[in-house]
């Protein structure tokens, strides 16, 4: 077959005019530029490593132990301060009580001491024990016997004076404590001999821890 220059060319199929809009993007269409470098389609995919459940330990690590936080120590300063205050109050209270009882005891000794000394003195005279009676007499004591004043400087002189009174007036049969004033250094005793009572006035003084008779107007 040859081409006839006078023969009309066969009609061609009409094509639609080009669209003024760009073609829609097809993600599955092959890229006209080819795959990016280093990309190999069909390469096997590595499955992700399974994650450990929540709260479990990673593989290869020892189990963790729970260590409780250290507890804060409570300060006891307030307790020691309170105890110190209480102890101070007790010490002051005991000191005050000690002073009080000392004064009371001293006052009681000043009141009871002279009365006790005179009572013991006359009990020994009543028994005729002049040696023990003299332990309550001061070595320089002065006595009024038979209207005259004598100084009993020792036990022998005292015993002679007491024996002379027993011989002339009779032995002591009764002893009574007379009226005492607020001055405990002066005492009055009522003595009975042969049924006849009489008063004896005595003066005492404290010597060391005991009371001694320093003067008397009779025995």
What predicted TM-score, i.e. pTM, was given to this entire model? 0.50
φ, ψ for residue 28, nearest 5 deg: -95, -5
First to last CA, the chain: 197
Domains of the chain: 104-216 (3.10.450.50)
Residue 174, C-beta contacts closer than 8 angstroms, at least 6 positions apart: 190, 191, 192, 197
pLDDT tens sequence across 128-141 = 999 999 999 999 99
pLDDT tens sequence across 157-169 = 999 999 999 999 9
Neighbours of 62 (CB within 10 A): 6
What is the dihedral sign for C-alpha 128, 133, 138, 139?
positive
pLDDT tens sequence across 143-162 = 988 788 888 889 999 999 99
Task: Give me the pLDDT at residue 119, please.
Answer: 92
Across 7-21, 26-40, 55-69, 162-176, the highest mean pLDDT is recorded for: 162-176
């Amino acid at each position: 077959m040859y081409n006839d220059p006078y023969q009309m060319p066969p009609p061609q199929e009409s094509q639609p005019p080009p669209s003024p809009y760009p073609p829609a993007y097809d993600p599955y269409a092959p890229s006209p530029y080819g795959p990016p470098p280093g990309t190999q389609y069909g390469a096997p995919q590595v499955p992700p490593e399974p994650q450990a459940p929540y709260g479990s330990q990673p593989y290869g690590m020892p189990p963790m132990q729970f260590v409780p936080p250290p507890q804060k120590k409570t300060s006891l300063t307030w307790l020691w301060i309170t105890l110190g205050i209480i102890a101070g109050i007790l010490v002051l209270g005991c000191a005050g009580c000690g002073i009080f009882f000392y004064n009371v005891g001293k006052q009681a000794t000043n009141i009871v001491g002279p009365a006790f000394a005179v009572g013991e003195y006359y009990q020994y005279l009543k028994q005729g024990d002049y040696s023990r009676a003299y332990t309550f007499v001061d070595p320089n004591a002065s006595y009024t016997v038979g209207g005259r004043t004598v100084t009993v400087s020792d036990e022998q002189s005292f015993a002679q004076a007491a024996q002379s009174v027993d011989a002339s007036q009779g032995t002591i049969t009764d002893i009574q404590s007379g009226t005492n004033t607020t001055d405990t250094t002066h005492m009055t005793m009522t003595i009975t001999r042969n049924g006849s009572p009489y008063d004896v006035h005595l003066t005492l003084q404290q010597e060391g821890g005991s009371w001694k008779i320093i003067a008397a107007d009779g025995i």
